[in-house]
Structure 1
């Protein structure tokens, strides 16, 4: 049996002018030196993405193919596994802000990413988005602005996701519903007899087959006790994916997947089942549909491990953890926030005073 091969991580590149580490410049295909401004282009791969056959990876030996070793740090507070670039002088968890101990780093194999969506906005742009968002918050404590906008707590993070492709075939048995209306005479709330249209449905048997290609089913590949990425910002334009190159990771934190390929595949089959059900209902037609039974089969299944960009800011207020997230591709923002008790109290009090004055004047 052929021995599985483990690929070695690419070495970090240093500036030819001053020797500093080169980091990725968001929105470009270049790595740059933040000290002297020197830039180098990231080589573009002509063969594009490599879609990997799924089932060899679900076997014990196959799971190590196309793998590499990466240095990981585990956050004991929230459970996140993250790779922190050497140029980060202050090592804190991107989710909860707890210190990470370099001596606790360990080597672990991971399935090499097949693609990455590089950051399209830089840290300064993310900082302005955070500032504008915080400034618009109602009833926020006064010291929130200062704490939440501290740049040292804002980190660029690449999130791991699985994508799955497959040919889908499904046969189904169901019913097609067509609406019709009956006219009835009923008594309304005032006791008068009125005419009312009542909608009813005639059901007809239906059966058939559907098939098609399911492309890039996106499945989250990490989970922690806290710091979940809000669904509001978890939308990326996958057309901007680039073939993986470690240069895109320079200067950013990379989170390792904690949801296994097998678990991700099971989730993707649930998504595929929902897709098949929608296709069946579209095929049935009519005004409404029922699918009573369906036999779904997937074939030619492939997958990719991809990395998607977000900016994360962790903040503690009165002993509680709060997180703010910005989509690193489109700038969408979402976050949790504390409320000022006194601001709310005085706003309610002011409202009651205004209502009281209105009631008093109305009685004159």
Structure 2
């Protein structure tokens, strides 16, 4: 089933407006609250082979999409459509963070980010070779996790003191036991096989105070994907993601010792709950000297991540400047200490 949101005033297609948080008509300017949008203006198309073939309600063109796509734009007339059957049952998202940054602001933010690249080539910093920018809702699982931790360690404290003519070293040994219960909420793991996991991780943090109950109008005018991996398949990655925080917390409870030797450290992490959530991301495709560079932008905060090209000349100049600064500094120290310049 294909869903179009039609303007009650003029009949044009409406899309989600990131600035107002409402459905917006580009033709007459009408804006509607998502929750109160008139149901009679939601146009749906059904077909015999709904799961395999979709047609645009506006122009009748066939919508060819990847099987993971849940929202897209018609390549012929540009209408934003939502593929509802791909958002039902187990595929129905629980939550969504709507876009708060529109396309124009995203481009402006990206250009500013490019100009701040201290070691990127001058040609790249102009940000004038953007091949495309796509607003996409990426599927994530948000995990509420509980970790039960048991730790046994032998800790030592070493004290050195002087008594008379002798220096004494006193070593005390302690048998330390910790039983820890830790809860983590909303640990995000992207569930799309198309997305680079490291890139998605670097887009954090999101403001989860702006989570909304999922509603299809949020997708109108954007691309959206459904998950490739369920919450059970990604649970090990979520547990691995919080390991360093658990290790840090354990260390904070065993402090003040000269040395800590762990005999046992058992960490048992379990899922309390997992929310299928769509998070807003702008994907930017940039062409520079025949190579394509892909960047991602948090569609809520504007944070940009990616690996830009590096100017070898700038790197050499930067390290050269540091070397000269160190040399001059050492010579000044030498002068102050009675040395001379050679």
Range class of TM-score, shorter chain: 0.5 to 0.7
Cα drift, residue 228 of structure 1: 5.8
Contact in 2 for aligned 1:129/1:331 (Cα 8 Å): yes
CA distance in 1, matches of 2:248, 2:196: 33
SS at match of 1:329: coil
Match of 2:111 in 1: 131
Is 1:23 matched up with 2:15? yes
Match of 2:175 in 1: 205
Contact in 1 for aligned 2:115/2:125 (Cα 8 Å): no
The partner residue of 1:122 within 77, 81, 102 is 102
Contact in 1 for aligned 2:138/2:281 (Cα 8 Å): yes
Match of 1:309 in 2: 280
Contact in 2 for aligned 1:176/1:286 (Cα 8 Å): no
CA distance in 2, matches of 1:225, 1:162: 14
CA distance in 1, matches of 2:285, 2:132: 6
Is 1:85 matched up with 2:69? no
Is 1:145 matched up with 2:115? no
Is 1:293 matched up with 2:272? no
CA distance in 1, matches of 2:230, 2:197: 19
In the alignment, structure 1 segments of 5+ residues that lack a partner are 1-8, 45-68, 76-80, 92-105, 184-198, 355-362
Q: Kindly provide the CA deviation profile for residues 211-265 of structure 1, in whole angstroms up to 9, marking residues without a partner as x.
A: 1432122222224386962654332112221111111111111133334433211
Contact in 2 for aligned 1:209/1:280 (Cα 8 Å): no
C-alpha spacing 1:20/1:177, structure 2 compared with 1 (3 Å): farther
Is 1:283 matched up with 2:253? yes
The partner residue of 1:37 within 25, 29, 32 is 29
Match of 1:358 in 2: none
Match of 1:238 in 2: 208
C-alpha spacing 1:201/1:305, structure 2 compared with 1 (3 Å): farther
CA distance in 2, matches of 1:88, 1:166: 42
CA distance in 1, matches of 2:156, 2:184: 27
In the alignment, structure 2 segments of 5+ residues that lack a partner are 37-50, 55-63, 79-84, 163-168, 325-340
Cα drift, residue 21 of structure 1: 1.8
C-alpha spacing 1:202/1:258, structure 2 compared with 1 (3 Å): farther
Please provide the CA RMSD for this pair: 4.4
Cα drift, residue 20 of structure 1: 1.9
CA distance in 2, matches of 1:230, 1:145: 25
Match of 1:328 in 2: 299
Cα drift, residue 87 of structure 1: 4.8
SS at match of 2:104: helix
CA distance in 2, matches of 1:235, 1:307: 14
SS at match of 2:284: strand
Contact in 2 for aligned 1:82/1:254 (Cα 8 Å): yes
SS at match of 2:218: helix
The partner residue of 2:6 within 7, 14, 17 is 14
Number of aligned residue pairs: 290
